Structure 1
Amino acid sequence: MERLSDVLFSGSQTEFLLEIFIRTFIMFLLVLLVLRLLGRRGVRQLTLFEMAMIISLGSAAGDPMFQDDLPISYAVIVFMTVVLLYKGITWIVMKYRPMEKMLEGAALTVVQDGMFALEEDRDLTFSKMEFFSELRNLSVEHLGQVREGVLEVDGTLSVLFYEPSQVRFGLALFPSRYREISGYHGPGPFACMFCGKVIKEIPVGKECPRCSRNRWALAMNTQRV
């Protein structure tokens, strides 16, 4: 118990504990004020550039909260500089499209015509399972229901669906149906578990004619509920 007390309070000064409370309270209000001035954004709407800015603000706010040799005025100067930089860079981004792409990236097509877009695959930082999870959250049962899916710069997924009458066979997204078939000789169609290509019969050699992979699952064509 004495050891725990040493870990928690060793070397602490009682009068400085109150100062830490006051400093933390002030810095917290300053952070809220700055974020309010920068505009309303949800966490999922933040771009990479905005995340870097918030991390900078957090770093600048943290030290003055408990270091008595750092006046709060230093943090205020840092905040003002970050806000000016943010406003300036935002203006530049609005004027010059290449700068926006460099700082924030570009939207990527993930699903096209019920299949994964192979040409964008090398640029993706998400795993297929993460995309499956995002699509499942949108009540998508299989890729055949999706006409186009785009990964936005803020990490969200935007989806256009086929009309019910146009739903095609596609790769299942739920674990109960996303299962590799082995030695299966029943009727198809079948979907490539990598790219979502659907074929009526598994070809000789079992390689997908689109991506050259060789893992297959039964395709499905249920409509969205």
Structure 2
Amino acid sequence: MVGNPDEPHCVSHLHPETAMDQIIPFDPERMIWGSAPALIYLEIAVRVGVIWIWTIVLLRWVGGRSISQMSVVEFLLVIALGSAVGDPMFQADVPLLYGMLTILLVVLADKAVDHAFRYWTTAKRLVDGRPTEILREGHLSHAGLDKKGIGPTEVMEMLRRAGVRNLGQVEYAYMEPSGTVSTFLYDQPRPGLTIVPPLELRRLPAPDALSGACCTSCGLVRATADGTCAECGATEVTRAERLESREISSA
């Protein structure tokens, strides 16, 4: 088939210039303020606000244990600044002024949130959440565990890190918004579930009439091994053991 001589010749065999070839090094317009209309700066401010709020909502949903030792706002500040600082450094099509404005807005938002936390306690509860009771009177609270989305083995691991050897030592334990666990111990330990060594690494002793039985899932102590646990509904039990004074002093 013969092409129309009036039509332009196909130039597909030519190599078009890439975006990098079109970039003029040290061009102040591209490098500093960009070629977009002035309203782009208002758009950047709106984008920062939307992403900031959306990320806080998702981080609250994920929970404090994923960002342990940091508040939700501190964690968000780190990841937001990481992106805002990094992009203008190596992306030639991102003007420095865009990145500088984004960094400034992120820092100002963080300062505004800190200010709100000092004078408006409701704001802190909305963003960071509240402490949650996960253990009461020697046994785990499954309502608290369900609320935080964690399992008994994870809580027992945290308690071991805090030096707890038996759940009967603990009167109350709370998971803080930062993901750490605060424990308040009895003056005299009660019989309870021994968690050192971990349950997975030892053979659980059978309950007896003298010491009673305790649930291996939540540590609730009951008189007999029959039936299901009133706290969590589990059926597996082991012997309720009281931590001796010498064991506490050596912990």
Contact kept in structure 1, 2:140 and 2:152, CA below 8 Å: no
When normalised by structure 1's length, the TM-score is 0.70
Contact kept in structure 2, 1:180 and 1:216, CA below 8 Å: no
Q: Please point out which of 174, 186, 210 is paired with 2:196.
A: 174
Q: Which runs of 5+ in 2 are unaligned?
A: 1-19, 21-66
Alpha-carbon spacing, 1:180–1:199, altered in 2? closer, same or farther (3 Å): farther
Contact kept in structure 2, 1:136 and 1:174, CA below 8 Å: yes
The equivalences for 1:1-225 within 5 A come to: 44-163=68-187, 166-175=188-197, 177=199, 184=206, 186-187=208-209, 188-203=211-226, 206-223=227-244, 224=248, 225=250
Task: Report deviation, 1:185.
Answer: 6.8
Question: After TM superposition, where is structure 1 displaced by more than 6 Å over at least 4 residues in a row?
Answer: none
Contact kept in structure 2, 1:48 and 1:103, CA below 8 Å: yes
State the distance in 2 between where 1:83 and 1:169 align: 51
CA deviations over 1:100-156 (Å, ceiling 9, x no partner): 111111101111111112332321122222211111112211100111111111011
Q: Per the alignment, in what secondary structure is the counterpart of residue 127 of structure 2?
A: helix
Task: Report deviation, 1:162.
Answer: 1.6
State the distance in 2 between where 1:72 and 1:175 align: 56
Contact kept in structure 2, 1:64 and 1:75, CA below 8 Å: yes
Contact kept in structure 2, 1:108 and 1:150, CA below 8 Å: yes
Q: Which runs of 5+ in 1 are unaligned?
A: 1-11, 13-42
State the distance in 2 between where 1:89 and 1:176 align: 41
One-letter code aligned to 1:167? P
Partner of 1:37: none
Q: Per the alignment, in what secondary structure is the counterpart of residue 153 of structure 2?
A: helix
Task: Report deviation, 1:180.
Answer: 7.6
State the distance in 2 between where 1:158 and 1:71 align: 47
State the distance in 2 between where 1:84 and 1:176 align: 46
State the distance in 2 between where 1:133 and 1:216 align: 19
Partner of 2:48: none
When normalised by structure 2's length, the TM-score is 0.63
- Between 169-178 and 99-108, the greater mean CA deviation after superposition: 169-178
Q: Per the alignment, in what secondary structure is the counterpart of residue 45 of structure 1?
A: coil
> How many residues are paired up?
180
Partner of 2:42: none
CA deviations over 1:65-100 (Å, ceiling 9, x no partner): 321232433322211101111111222232222221
State the distance in 2 between where 1:151 and 1:95 align: 24
Alpha-carbon spacing, 1:180–1:190, altered in 2? closer, same or farther (3 Å): farther
State the distance in 1 between where 2:177 and 2:193 align: 25
Alpha-carbon spacing, 1:106–1:144, altered in 2? closer, same or farther (3 Å): same
State the identity %: 27
Alpha-carbon spacing, 1:162–1:66, altered in 2? closer, same or farther (3 Å): same
Contact kept in structure 1, 2:220 and 2:229, CA below 8 Å: yes
Give the root-mean-square deviation of aligned CA atoms. 2.6
- Between 105-114 and 191-200, the greater mean CA deviation after superposition: 191-200
State the distance in 2 between where 1:208 and 1:126 align: 19
